[in-house]
Structure 1
Amino acid sequence: MKVILLEDVKSLGKKDDIVNVNDGYARNFVLPKKLGVEATSKNLNDLKLKKSNEAKLAKEQLEAAQAFAAEMAKDEVILSIKAGEGGRTFGSISTKEIAQGYKEQCGKEIDKKKIILPEALRSFGMFEIGVKLHPSVTGTLKVKVVEK
């Protein structure tokens, strides 16, 4: 019997896979526990429509992330930190401060967890910071650190 899986099943396959199982296994385990449905023509058509809708949504999200990355490349965030004698800084700039500064200065929000910062910014100057907007799109943001 052919079955469309509604959830990941360890010994059978992943969600939305079409698998062949024994009739007894399907009737006594897969179907009663709502782990899958029988692969009728209606259910196969529903699966096809669902996959095409998911592909369309994924494409739209990718395009939106690419557009946002293009906008972000033009923006610049200016942040300030205290300095002591000899141009040494007190403290550092973290991802939270970068996200907050971007929201205040540019009016757009980014998640602080998506900012790729190898280490906190502890010196003055211009830095290009990576921001993970989508699994395949990484934007760059210019951050200028100045003395308070």
Structure 2
Amino acid sequence: MQKNTQPNQLLLLEDVVNLGRKGDLVKAKPGFARNFLLPKKKAVIADKRTIRLQERLKEERAKQSAVDKKESEAFAAQIKGKTLKTNVKSDKEGHLYGSVAVVDIVKILEEEEGVKLERRNVVLPKPIKTVGTFEIQLRLKEDVPATFFLKVIGEGQIEEVKSRVKVKEEGAEDLSEEGVSEEGEPLPTLKEQKAEMRDELEERSKK
């Protein structure tokens, strides 16, 4: 006689990604149920005695869903239009050594906004590999959408500008009190030169 390999019917005690929500009746392969769902108390085997439990779980899920949706909408409004920044090692042309991936964005949001998201909440088709400003899409709990901007600043470009500022500072010692070159032409002040460097770095990060 052929062994019965039909999946077991289970009642989920909590949400399980790619399987179902709390209170749902689902079917799972015996190995997955035996080795993960049941020992982790994420589900129980469904029978006549679980009907009342299912009703209670669905009520709890409905209440939690309302809370989750409200919190997600509040965070979406909080971060809308914001630009967060991150410094990443790069070459002088703005190509990153490595990339900014989903896990990095999750960490940035936790550090800057105090919110802890799952990786699945970040919609990023492919890792970011260049400097610039990028629109990041999020899919929060209860499928609430959110967007913000992430400005990736290359540390290689920062070091280049710092080096040029240092050269300018050293060169300033050769200027006369009137701030003119050896040819007698007026030169910008050191403060103006630094501002020019900052503007250049800002412009590069937009590319």
Band the TM-score falls in, shorter-chain normalisation: 0.5 to 0.7
Structure 2 counterpart of 1:134, from 129, 133, 141: 141
1:111 aligns with 2:110: no
Instruction: Give the number of the structure with larger relative contact order, counting CA–CA contacts within 8 Å between residues 6 or more apart.
Output: 1
Residue matched to 1:88: 95
Alpha carbons 1:75, 1:106 under 8 Å: kept: no
Which residues of 2 match residues 13-92 of structure 1 at below 5 A? 15=25, 35-37=47-49, 51-92=58-99
After TM superposition, where is structure 1 displaced by more than 4 Å over at least 4 residues in a row?
46-53
The answer for unaligned runs of 5 or more in structure 2 is 1-8, 12-23, 26-44, 156-207
Rounded to whole Å, the distance in 2 between the matches of 1:127 and 1:34 is 47
Residue matched to 2:104: 97
Q: Kindly report the root-mean-square deviation, in angstroms, between the aligned alpha carbons of the 2 structures.
A: 3.1
**Percent of aligned positions with the same letter in both sequences?**
22
Alpha carbons 1:7, 1:36 under 8 Å: kept: no
TM normalised by structure 2 equals 0.46
Relative to structure 1, the CA distance from residue 91 to residue 36 in structure 2 (aligned partners, 3 Å threshold; closer, same or farther) is same
Rounded to whole Å, the distance in 2 between the matches of 1:62 and 1:55 is 11
Rounded to whole Å, the distance in 2 between the matches of 1:104 and 1:34 is 42
- The structure carrying a bigger helix percent of its residues is 2
Relative to structure 1, the CA distance from residue 129 to residue 7 in structure 2 (aligned partners, 3 Å threshold; closer, same or farther) is same
The answer for unaligned runs of 5 or more in structure 1 is 1-5, 9-13, 16-32
TM normalised by structure 1 equals 0.61
